[in-house]
Amino acid sequence: MSVAPSSALYLSHISENGNSEDGSFHKFFELWLAEQNQHLKDLSEAADESSGVVTSERVQVLVERVEEHYELYYKAKSRWAKQDVLAMLTPSWRSTLEESFLWIGGWRPSMAFHLLYSKSSLQFEARLNDLMQGMKTCDLGDLCAVQLSELDDMQRRTIREERELTDVMAEHQETVADAPMVELSHVLTEIVGGGNEGGCDNKELEERVESALEPKVEKLEEILQKADNLRLKTLQGIVGILTPQQAIHFLIAAAELHLRLHEWGKKMDAKKGNHQGLDSTI
């Protein structure tokens, strides 16, 4: 069951019309979020019905549908990042709670493994008696040695790539204080300090500012794209290692955590007056 209008149709409509009005990604995100909530219900029903003996076609189709839903999200992010990467890195549609845990505009890829192992531990403890009797639970508490080895290898690769991107981002952030930026900020300060505020509208100065900032913004877009690619690759990689029944439990845990954090964060912001009263100088 899909939500109408769907996020896919909305994205298609925006792309066809070249529409870039403010808040369009926010609208897409709300539609996407509603669909994720529906997918969570479908996944939960499938987890209850699955016998774990045979991979049912319904289970496989559902897992693929959810994967495609994530792919759509990152396709949309890439599209809007080309228009305004700064908005994508500081998403206003996220709560301040969610913002506090963001890594380059989204979730930290290595977190997916912590999520997997946390859920695995909980399900292992819940079904310990069954497992001790040699029964197959076919959930995340029943990961085999081969799967654990593959997940460990993938986690190591993911952490390495994540650290590399973190270093790239840190180095790029330092360029905001490079010689051209410092010189330009000094020139503009002298103009304003001399009482020639109108000089700030000077076409040549505006061009210098744009010339200094453009490559920095373009680099941010490049870094965000690589971060999103790693996020999607990590999600797909984990699902690929798991059986379809196990993948359902992982995707349930991912959706539950995402949706609940979003809800908790919005409630916290509402109690605080929606970001009002925060020190803007911090």
Helix 145-174 × helix 203-241 angle, to 10°: 170
Q: Give me the pLDDT at residue 7, please.
A: 86
pLDDT at 111: 97
What is the reported pLDDT for 279?
36
SS3 call for 21: coil
Query: Which of 94, 88, 37 has the alpha carbon at shortest distance from 66?
Result: 37
Residues 229, 235, 241, 243: what is their CA dihedral angle, to the nearest 10 degrees?
A: -140
Distance of CA 209 to the CA centre of its chain: 31
- The answer to whether the bond into 180 is cis (omega within 30° of 0) is no
pLDDT at 22: 42
Instruction: Write down the pTM of the prediction.
Output: 0.85
Contact 64, 46 (CB under 8 A): no
Report how far residue 17's alpha carbon sits from residue 120's, in angstroms, rounded to the nearest whole number.
Answer: 45
Q: What's the token pair of residue 166?
A: 């973190």
Rounded average pLDDT per 10-residue block, the chain, 282 residues:
65 64 78 96 83 66 96 95 94 92 96 96 80 70 94 98 98 94 86 57 79 94 98 98 94 97 95 55 26
Residues facing residue 130 across a β-bridge: none
The whole-number pLDDT of residue 162 equals 98
pLDDT computed for residue 29 by the predictor: 94
Task: Report the distance separating Cα 26 and Cα 77, nearest Å.
Answer: 11
Chain-centroid distance, C-alpha 203: 38
- Measured between alpha carbons, how far is 267 from 169 in angstroms, rounded to an integer? 31
pLDDT at 39: 96
